[in-house]
A and B are shown apart, each in its own frame.
Chain A
Amino acid sequence: MHPDRTDAAEIESLYRQHGAALLLFAAAITGERSRAQDALHHVFLKLIENGNLDHALDKKAYLFACVRNAVLNEAKVLNRHTPLDPDSAVFTSAWFTPPDRDYAAEHALRHALSILPREQRLVIVLHVWGELTFAQIADLLEISANTAASRYRYALARLREAMLPAPNDKEDPCANSRG
């Protein structure tokens, strides 16, 4: 084994730790879960074969950057930039395990995410489920931290709006959140 290479067990551990968020992030870019999985596997297999994570100060952010690059490179090779189609996103497999098996809410969230502008969708996925700070997101997406925060607020507002039940429908679970 090459002395500079990161241990495969450590990379597998990172995969188990961050795989779900990374997959969601890739799916948020591609809109296709299968392509997202391919990109994710491609990144991790490459890391296991000849990767060295020791130079990465922030391994988690580095992994998100790797996945993003893999997805974008693959799209470049295939010369296809498929916009995320809300209908296809709705009918594909679930992206989330919903609380209390509320699959209708999962469906609504997936649909709400799919209709967000891509820039906002990426920021919200990275911050909420990737648990990256705005500074990390800014580095990753090559934008300012303020821009990342701004996109996040808009995305959150739009998601809330999209997921809110219609008037006279069931009670909003976050009804008190705005004071």
Chain B
Amino acid sequence: MPIPEDERLSDERMKGQPMKDQRMKDEGIKDQRLNVDRPNNERVVHERLDHGQIADPSADHLVSNAQPIDEKFEAHLKHFRPVDPPPLPVERRVHAPQRWFVLAAWAAAAAAVVAVAVVGFHARPGRIAPPVETFAVVDQLVKPQSLTIRSANALLARAPSFKEAIDQMAFPPKPAPLPADKHSALAELSKEKIKL
């Protein structure tokens, strides 16, 4: 912020006056104002400097011109920069709505993923409860040996044609029927009537 002209002049006058007083002192010119109005003015200055306390605050303006402002030392002090304060807590608050938006977006995405997973889980054919009628063929579906690459290779090697090999893979032959005195547990269970 630029210093207003009148204030700058006022400050310069304050800095300039002591120079004039110093010159007067150097040239042996007595300052009548100091000697007449306050003969002990110099002593007051020394007391203040020695004890570091303002003995008589009302006398400040009388001694204010006694010393010139040490501008080099002033400039030296300005090289020491005050440490910056920590950021205002409000800066975090200002960005809070954005963070809420991000959190809400993540929550929505997570909910969507969960919903898709649940729907997918229930929609899988293998997971649907088989109808009662299918119990009869359950034991047919249970293959004694699952299809593997090795068995497929063996089938391809043994089968007279490629088509027949594929047919055997798709419709494997029924397992050997159980002896007459033995029953399949699945077949027995499939006979049961289940009330729904």
Contact = CB atoms under 8 A, between A and B. Distances in A.
Query: Do the two chains bind?
Result: yes
B11 A160 contact: no
B11 to A, nearest CB: 5
Contacts of A22: 85
Contacts, number: 133
Contact of A20 (B67, B76, B78, B85): B85
A44 interface: yes
Contacts of A95: 82-83
Contacts of B130: none
A19 B79 CA distance: 17
A17 B61 CA distance: 33
A134 to B, nearest CB: 6
Given A20-B82, A133-B8, A149 B52 contact: no
A160 B70 CA distance: 9
A156 B77 CA distance: 9
Interface string A70-104: 00000000000000000000000111111100000
A145 B10 contact: yes
A145 B11 CA distance: 9
Contacts of B60: 144, 146-147, 150-151
B79 A99 contact: yes
Given A24-B83, A41-B88, A177-B72, 5 more contacts: A37-B85, A45-B89, A48-B90, A149-B64, A174-B76
Interface in A133-161: 133-136, 144-147, 149-154, 156-160
B175 to A, nearest CB: 80
Interface of A: 8, 12, 15, 19-24, 37, 40-41, 44-45, 48, 58-60, 93-99, 105-106, 109, 115-117, 119, 128-129, 133-136, 144-147, 149-154, 156-160, 173-174, 176-178
**Best-buried of A96, A116, A128, A149 by chain B (most CB within 10 Å):** A149
Interface in B23-51: 48-49
Given A147-B61, A158-B49, A20 B84 contact: yes
Contact of A21 (B82, B86, B89, B94): B82
Contacts of B53: 117
B63 interface: yes
